Amino acid sequence: MMLARLKAIPRSVWQAVMRTVVGSRFGHLVAMVFSLRRRAPLLAILMGLSLCAGLYLAVSTMLAVFAWLGGWRWPHLLLAIPAALIVLLVMIELYAAAILAALQIVLRFGYDIGRARFGAVLAIAALCAGAIAAMRLWSEQATPPGAGPIAAAAIAGAAAALSLWFARIYLRPAARGFRSFHVDLVEARRTLEGARHGA
């Protein structure tokens, strides 16, 4: 009986962590990404990419704290595991708040400069990200490459895909699926404002 209870502890802890994540601001933003796919696709894509980056940074921080506290060595793991989980929960909440603020700035910037210039900014950002990723991969001596160059390549690929998608959806009126950049920005800013006040 006692052994069964001890075995159930990790599952109970994991379920509690997942419930906390789902009910957090970060979890609400993830749900918003899926609900906004058709109504405000630009916001959904920007928010999805930002959440992926925030989750990567939060998990990296959690693993660093876990290793610093001793990792899986006994009895260090008794402190390392709960401390790492607390760090993860705190970090995803901080990143969620930062993502909301950053997206509001980006959308206001796009509203001010217009679709053509915003598309040009995205293209330049994609080229810069590609150049940085190429330099990281070129300078990487390890085979296979480490997490840093792989993350840089993933960011470059996401930036390029976003730039191409933006050009097709907002810069080519004759293209199928063309949308109004102004209308989508207004809807995205209204949605973000509601999320910020409702969080």
Q: Give the model's pLDDT for residue 17.
A: 66
Residues of the chain with pLDDT under 50: 6, 199
- The boundaries of the domain holding residue 29 are 2-198
Three-point CA angle 39, 44, 49, nearest 5°: 170
CA distances to 9, 12, 22, 30 from 15, in Å: 10, 5, 10, 18
Res 20: pLDDT: 72
| C-beta separation of 184 from 169 below 8 A | no
Note the pLDDT tens digit of each residue in 49-100.
888 888 888 888 888 988 888 877 777 777 888 888 888 888 888 888 888 8
Cα 147 to Cα 20, 56, 80, 137, distances in angstroms: 28, 11, 23, 11
Angle of the 2-23 helix axis to the 77-139 helix axis, nearest 10: 50
* 3 state SS of 137: helix
| Residues composing the chain | 199
Could you tell me if 169 and 118 are in contact, meaning their C-beta atoms sit under 8 angstroms apart?
no
> Can you give the pLDDT at residue 37?
78
| CA dist., res. 195 & res. 28, Å (int) | 9
**Domains of the chain: total:** 1
Helix and strand numbers (H, E) in the chain are: 6, 0
Q: Is the dihedral of CA 180, 190, 40, 160 positive or negative?
A: positive
Q: Is 39 helix (H, G, I), strand (E, B) or coil?
A: coil
What pLDDT sits at residue 53? 85
